[in-house]
Structure 1
């Protein structure tokens, strides 16, 4: 009787390890064409990106070029940029948000600065009617405060 029990235990162990190993093997990677025109445009026109973190959130900022002539400056093809601001909590199921700052002309001095209150300060300088202006926003797990 002991030999029969031993046989079944060994058989169960062998079968379970077979199924266990088979279920952990990765599937072969597969590449497919993505048919999202907006995402395609954004990813292909990222000028630069910035990242900053606190203990509670991560912020990623993507500077994306708009189409030629979007700055509407006479006799030029200058462009404006959109800034995509992605905010994510650090959590197993993080709250995630995406914001867009549209049509920024000639941005420079772009910074993301972590603050002591676990927020991140976004600042940059841009041109409005030929004059430099400063943009400031506070980014947090609840969104954007201008």
Structure 2
């Protein structure tokens, strides 16, 4: 009886992990594990910075002026992006100092601050409570590289 209980507990634990969910990927040497995000309907997109360069960039030759997103591209990014563990992504994905940022308003009244960079990663902070790190491997449209 104890073995059956242990097996049942192990099965329940395994099915509640993100990797047991067939909608999540396991990740690899070149890409972190990714899980789908479920956001409320986006009702408004504001772009506050576009073609911006992160202060952390030491390279004076980097020009970010051609990395500009419009509202449709921001909407498309969030419809295709997947959530990743930020620590895993740090080791597997490239970083770009070029970014755009702004705010989203959702149908449920919540707001979020977003940032998206040239190499298809981004962050989303909903009501300053929930923070997600996102990656969009399917965002192969301009201006992404």
TM-score range, shorter chain: under 0.3
Structure scoring higher RCO (CA < 8 A, sep ≥ 6) equals 2
Q: Which has the higher strand share?
A: 1
TM-score normalised by the chain length of structure 2: 0.25
Using structure 1 for the length normalisation, give the TM-score: 0.25
